Structures are given as C-alpha cells and as structure tokens.
Amino acid sequence: MGKRIAHIMSCTALLALLATTVHAGPATITRAAWGKMSDGRAISLYTLTNTHGMQVKITTYGGTITSIVVPDNKGQMGDVVLGYNDSADYIKAVNNTYFGALIGRYGNRIAKGIFTLDGKTYHLYINNTPNSLHGGHYGFDKKLWSATPFHRRGTVGLTVRYMSKDGEENYPGTLHEKVVYTLTNDNSLQLQYTATTDKDTVLNLTSHAYFNLAGAGNGNILDHFMMINADRYTPITKNLIPTGELATLSGTPLDFRKATPIGARIDKDNVQLKNAGGYDHNFVLNQQGQGVRLGARVSCPRSGRVMEVWTDQPGLQFYSGNFLNGTNIGKGGKVYNKHYGFCLEAQHYPDSPNEPKFPTTELKPGQVYHQTTIYKFSVQK
Ligand code: BGC
C-alpha cells in the first residue's frame, strides 16, 4: 500500500514538473517578420531555443535582445529581461533606456562629447547634457543590423553585422562590426564581438540588457544579491564622468566583493550614490588582461535564478535602473518603475578617450577589436 502511494506521489510530482518545464529537444532558431524601420526596411525577430527550452529573442533593430526565458528553481519559465512588445515601441521609445540593445560606437559617456585623436578634435552629439552617451544621436542601438542564423555542434546562434560609415555620428573611420550571439546548452548566452576600422578611431562596444531575475515587470531588483569581482572602481562627478581616479571599494557602499542585496546600501549618504541616484558606476574588474573571467554573480531570492557575467573586458558598468520612472510600458503592459531592472555592461571605462591612464579604446587599421562576454543562467534553492 505504502509503495503504491509513493508511486502515485512520484507520478504526481513528475506531472507537476512536466507542466512547468519546457520539454527538452534539439536546439532551434526561427525568424519572424517584426515590423519596419521608418524608411521601410524590414525588421526581423529571431527566436533561439536550446535543448533545455531556454529561449532568447534577438531583433535586427539595434541587434537587441528582447527576451531571455529561463527556468526558476521550481522549473517555472520566465522572461528576465526588460523590453517592449514590438519594434514600433522600440523605435518610439522615450526616456532613452536602450533596453537590450547593442551599444556603439562608444558605450557610456564621453565628457562634453569631445575627444582628440591624432591631434584632431572630434565633436559628438550631446544627447545626455552635457555629455555624449552610448554613441550619440543615432547610435548602433537604433540601426538595422543584418543577421545570419547558424547551427554549430548542437547549439544555435545568430551573427549580426553593422557597417558604420566614416564620420557617422562624427566618429572617424569606416567600421565593420560583428556580434556572434551563441545560445549554448548550459543555459549561457555568449556574445563575441569583433570590429575593424580603416582609420584611427575609438570604440567601446557593449550590450545594454536590463535584467530582473524575478521576471521583467515583477517588482524591483533591490532584493537581488550582487557580487562583483572588483577591488576598485572609477568614481564619478555629478555629470557621471569619471574623475580619472581608480579608487578602492573597501569601506564604501559600492563594495560588492561579498554578495550583498542591491538595496541594502543604495540609500546611504554617500556622494557617489547621490551623484548617480543609485549605482551607475564602472567597476575595475580584477584579473585584468587574463582573458574571460567571472565579472559578477547575481541571485534572486524570490525565484532562485542566478546569473553570472563572464567577460574579458577591463570594466563592468553596474547600473541599478535609477532613471526608470514608469513612463516605459513594457512587454505585456507591465510598467517599469525605478530599479525594476539592472544592467551589467561589460566594457572599457567611460570617457577613456579623455583619460590617458585608462586602458586605451583606440582602434587602428590592421587591428581587430575583440570582446567576449557571457551571461550564464542557473538556479539555487
Ligand atoms: C548608463 C546610465 C544611463 C543608462 C541609459 C547606462 O549604461 O550608465 O547612466 O542612464 O545607461 O539608459
């Protein structure tokens, strides 16, 4: 009798599990039409699914990640990135959030939109007074990228490409950039960037996905535990421009070497937190120049979801969604209020072209820019 009850119970548990988890199957990639650019060019949306049912959607508008669906610790699937319903919403997006987009030519700010290269001064578009942010007026996030899907050794991926003409947004050099998104079967999304130029230029590419591991729109991220593998950071002025210093994190409310809830110290009376209205800082990652290493680990107590960021970049911009203010109505009509998402943007330090002591962001003809960044998902109890 006991055995029968145990058998019935295990069947019930199995059925419950099957109801909430996506069936394993071969990795797939599909394409759908997804509206048009204002000049009529067609936009596509690709859906990548791995063997565990993890699903990533990427659109050719901005090479943007619009959705990442991963299981929680009960096997329940949920979308953990902020985004809009359709391409029209991305195109008309107010409040410049850059949800999920590829950022270029220069991720983050260039002070007053000015830099000098080879003795020539360049003036960029000031779209974030008094600075130029994320590539200027029409950065890579607003461009149509070409896309080629691929299957490789049981995984699927999407290669996106964009050619930026000499002088676009006032940056020198014709730039060819390529980002290879690979969805692996260990629930990782890998981004491999390469770029070349035909004239000396500056370049700082990144991905601007906002994550909420409880599910996009399901409250704020202040309860998420954050660990960042950095002993130092680049302090900023009121205009969010680095002072040039590499300061220790020791004894500051920005020290995330031990996993700490994002909200635990965010309101502390600290000039750096006041300058940014929360966290919006570049962390100088440890183990510089040693290839891909762990940059950050985030866990959400509500869902048990865990995300790690692995990267070969020198910096990681941790942005706690301070400027989200409810004007952004997202997927499924969900409203994104302050701190409803966080970004971990692997990149070079902000304003590097004006800070000779920072690792260089210059790219010359004959050189190839490389970046590898991986977002790896798992669960914990
Ligand atoms: C920056 C924030 C900015 C946001 C724009 C982040 O990368 O660090 O300061 O407001 O992008 O959405």
* pLDDT tens, residue by residue, 307-339: 999 999 999 999 999 999 999 889 999 999 999
Residue with CA closest to ligand 1 atom 4: 97
70: Cα separation from own chain's centroid: 16
Question: Ligand 1 within 6 A of 98 CB?
Answer: yes
Q: Are 273 and 218 in contact (CB under 8 A)?
A: no
Which pLDDT belongs to residue 22? 54
Question: Ligand 1 within 6 A of 201 CB?
Answer: no
Q: How far apart are the CA of 64 and the centre of ligand 1, in A?
A: 16
Closest C-alpha among 139, 204, 194, 133 to residue 346: 204
Closest C-alpha among 101, 91, 53 to residue 75: 53
Hey, which of 95, 102, 134 would you mutate to test ligand 1's pocket, going by the most ligand atoms within 8 Å of its Cβ? 134
Residue with CA closest to ligand 1 atom 12: 97
Hey, which of 96, 133, 349 would you mutate to test ligand 1's pocket, going by the most ligand atoms within 8 Å of its Cβ? 133
pLDDT, averaged per 10 consecutive residues of the chain (381 residues), comes to 45 42 81 97 98 98 98 98 96 86 98 98 97 96 98 97 98 98 98 98 98 98 98 98 98 98 98 98 96 98 98 98 92 96 98 98 98 98 88
Ligand 1 atom with the shortest distance to the CA of 108: 7
With a CB cutoff of 8 Å and minimum separation 6, the contacts of 380 are 73, 299, 304, 306
Q: How many CA atoms lie within 13 A of 169 on its CB side?
A: 27
Q: Which residues are catalytic?
A: 208, 345
Which pLDDT belongs to residue 94? 65
Helices (H), 174-321: 271-276
Buried b (16+ CB within 10 A) or exposed e, 290-308: eebebbbbbbbeebbbbbb
Which pLDDT belongs to residue 8? 43
State residue 137 phi and psi, 5-degree precision.
Answer: -65, -55
Ligand 1 atom with the shortest distance to the CA of 98: 12
First to last CA, the chain: 32
Q: How far apart are the CA of 379 and the centre of ligand 1, in A?
A: 28
* CATH numbers and ranges of domains, the chain: 23-379 (2.70.98.10)
Q: How far apart are the CA of 98 and the centre of ligand 1, in A?
A: 8
Question: Ligand 1 within 6 A of 323 CB?
Answer: yes
Question: Ligand 1 within 6 A of 93 CB?
Answer: no
Hey, which of 128, 210, 323 would you mutate to test ligand 1's pocket, going by the most ligand atoms within 8 Å of its Cβ? 323
- The per-residue pLDDT for range 7-22, each reduced to its tens digit, is 444 444 444 444 344 5
Q: How far apart are the CA of 154 and the centre of ligand 1, in A?
A: 36
- The per-residue pLDDT for range 341-352, each reduced to its tens digit, is 999 999 999 999
Ligand 1 atom with the shortest distance to the CA of 95: 12
